[in-house]
Amino acid sequence: MAGLTKKIIILNSVDSTNNYAMGLVKKGEAADGQAVFAMEQTIGRGRQGRHWISEPGANLQISYIISMEWASMRDQFFLSMAVSLSVAELIMHCSKSEVFVKWPNDVIINDKKAAGILIENVIHGSLWQWAVIGIGLNVNQKKFGNIKATSLAIETQKEFDVFEVARQLQTILHQNIRDMKKGLNSKLMKSYNQMLYKRNQKVKLKVGNRVFETVVIGVTEDGRLKTQDVFEQEWDLDTASIRY
Ligand code: BTN
């Protein structure tokens, strides 16, 4: 198995690092493991068609390209878990803060969002060829207006070198991908459920236009959220969201 490259392309400004990384994949120019980092994104994209807005130069806006031909399409949520756990691990290394993963993959410190993840896949028939793993991690930004967000700098009162943070995250992510290749998925799932935001606690869950109270129990292998109130229920990805 060829190693994962540590190459990082650094851009001053780009529409979206995910778009740039996907362009490399489509042109056949992508190397397994490589990253695309941007100081500024003009159209940063979030999950479910949302925008990702970030202070230029202050934060991590990065996409890692991973060849996935070795994996089964059924394992897509394992990759999502591996990525959120990698970001959580990095944050714990930098800040000693208590970190949680809010289903499906927001990374949370002190009830505020520190990082968001957007994974886009290239699939041919039943073959999962590539994953472009976009990560927005708030590093040195101090003000977020009325958005419930935080950063490493707010949590630690320190400034970080964003390039160093990008390299550290690449190392951690590559290690977790190697663990996935070794079939350590049950370890991943255990760690994910241990870090799950509000696990065994009452939350407000939004499903369509309805918001109701329920208790978060855990997440299934294919990424469904398990909750318990009058009924035990499972929620498909993107059909429900936990309110802060
Ligand atoms: C979310 O929380 O909705 C996901 C946000 C993902 C943002 C990152 S920043 C780097 C990469 N490029 C993008 O356009 N989006 C992701």
pLDDT in tens, the chain (244 residues): 469 999 999 999 999 999 999 999 999 999 999 999 999 999 999 999 999 999 999 999 999 999 999 999 999 999 999 999 999 999 999 998 999 999 999 999 999 999 999 999 999 999 999 999 999 999 999 999 999 999 999 999 999 999 999 999 999 999 999 999 999 999 999 999 999 999 999 999 999 999 999 999 999 999 999 999 999 999 999 999 999 8
- Using CA atoms, how far residue 27 sits from 20, 33, 64, in Å, is 11, 16, 16
Centroid of ligand 1 to alpha carbon of 4 (angstroms): 22
Atom of ligand 1 nearest to the CA of 54: 9
CA 241 to chain centre: 16
**Which residue lies with its CA nearest to atom 11 of ligand 1?**
134
d(CA 206, CA 40): 32
Q: What type of residue sits at position 175?
A: Q
Distance CA 236, CA 135 (A): 22
Kindly state if the Cβ of 138 falls inside 6 Å of ligand 1: no
Contacts of 33 (CB under 8 A, 6+ apart): 3, 4, 5, 6, 7, 64, 65, 66, 170, 174, 177
- Is residue 160 lining ligand 1, measured as CB closer than 6 Å? no
CA 62 – ligand 1 centroid, Å: 8
Backbone angles phi, psi at 55, to 5 degrees: -65, 125
Let me know the angle formed at the C-alpha of 238 by 235 and 241, rounded to the nearest 5 degrees.
75
Residue linked to tokens 């469904």: 224
Helix (H, G, I), strand (E, B) or coil at 75: helix
52: Cβ below 6 Å to ligand 1?
yes
